[in-house]
Structure 1
């Protein structure tokens, strides 16, 4: 303790990049900061790690405070530790990104934080280094989604192939070949075709699909190569 007492203590925070899908486009959940510095400006949801918490527990707690959610997909992204990133005090931030289905959980989001969903193409100016966090999370999501079925975490219980196509094109911000995309997705045998159709998109309608949960769980970390050469996509 004598040796440690000579060291300057610093704060450790958690910042959550929360991605959601509404069936049409990928969005980011932001809040209006309720205290200084930067009070009233747009921010990622965050909080401080408590003395009795590890990082994962703190990330899960903060996500639940905002969204009312637990047991959702959340993954540690990166540690941001630039000395002057927070003008109030020396603060290291451990960033996490989470994936949720907006339609399923929108009503659970707390009004206390003045939260709002933004299209990734219309993200407001964020405080501190939060924009850098979002950009890094997008890059990580693109990389993982190219090889693993991670994006299904954003989908409702039943969905159409056009909705899934919209999600992938939104994540990669590009136009994908629909035939090749459909062939690749169906070849994984992760989807179970339903008898009913979604009729709002067109007169002909599109069949609903559901995930084969058993196959999904067993193949979640398998190398499925959904998107070839993801590094060449912008």
Structure 2
């Protein structure tokens, strides 16, 4: 296979929280060995439907889930003659963050799998566990100095739920006072005036200010370096 006929695809690592644990979206496929494995949302660029590779990434997600990502970005471009048994291949890898609101419809064969790399290595086809690891590394880095946690939450949420996002992504989290100081500064969040009631004392419910320009913070959390 020459480079003129190389396989070019866009692969998307979509993350979502379920029961406080990070999951990735995958679809079941039959491999060349006629056994069942999972793969990421991935496919070729359609020159008619896609005006950009971003369009391709969104379209691959839409094939599997009715949920639209609140945030998505490119992670890396990979290519060599070893990734695919059919020959030279190149992929543009994205990661996407999807909120935990209800109402999702999955395509038959699609499923959210726990984002445990050791387990996924045995379940995923091709080099998709490596793609997930690279996307997860980017998320773990960027979540420490940006407002990314809010894109994994429902429309309204508490500060404790932001804390839970850090725990799910990093396996540790900064103190609640640090989260309070950071996320309540500026105009990033809007207090809805409502409370979430549970076994503990009622907690204020917030929503994202869609007009906010707050995105990046000044420094990393010391406790998560």
The secondary structure found in structure 1 opposite 2:220 is: coil
What is the correspondence of 1:72-111 to structure 2 with a 5 Å cutoff?
72-105=70-103, 107-111=104-108
Q: Are residue 32 (structure 1) and residue 28 (structure 2) matched?
A: yes
The aligned counterpart of 2:221 is: 228
The secondary structure found in structure 1 opposite 2:80 is: coil
Q: Are residue 9 (structure 1) and residue 2 (structure 2) matched?
A: no
What is the correspondence of 1:74-223 to structure 2 with a 5 Å cutoff?
74-105=72-103, 107-111=104-108, 113-120=109-116, 123-125=119-121, 126-200=124-198, 202-215=199-212, 218-220=213-215, 223=216
The secondary structure found in structure 1 opposite 2:73 is: strand
Give the C-alpha shift of residue 71 in structure 1: 6.3
More strand per residue: 1 or 2?
2
Is 1:148–1:225's contact at 8 Å kept on the other side of the alignment?
A: no
Give the C-alpha shift of residue 99 in structure 1: 0.5
Give the C-alpha shift of residue 133 in structure 1: 1.0
Give the C-alpha shift of residue 12 in structure 1: 0.5
Is 1:74–1:96's contact at 8 Å kept on the other side of the alignment?
A: yes
CA distance in 1 between counterparts of 2:19 and 2:32 reads 36
CA distance in 2 between counterparts of 1:158 and 1:76 reads 27
The secondary structure found in structure 2 opposite 1:59 is: helix
The aligned counterpart of 1:3 is: none
Aligned length in residues: 220
Give the C-alpha shift of residue 23 in structure 1: 6.0
The secondary structure found in structure 2 opposite 1:153 is: helix
The secondary structure found in structure 2 opposite 1:128 is: coil
Q: 1:90-145 CA deviation, whole Å, 9 max, x = no partner?
A: 2211111111013335x32212x332332447742222221111111111112222
Is 1:11–1:92's contact at 8 Å kept on the other side of the alignment?
A: yes
Give the C-alpha shift of residue 20 in structure 1: 0.7
Q: TM-score, normalising length from structure 2?
A: 0.84
Structure 1 moving runs of 4+ over 6 Å: none
Unaligned runs of 5+ residues in structure 1 are 1-5
Unaligned runs of 5+ residues in structure 2 are none
Moved more, 48-57 or 155-164: 48-57
Give the C-alpha shift of residue 19 in structure 1: 0.4
The secondary structure found in structure 2 opposite 1:219 is: coil
CA distance in 2 between counterparts of 1:227 and 1:56 reads 29
CA distance in 2 between counterparts of 1:79 and 1:67 reads 24
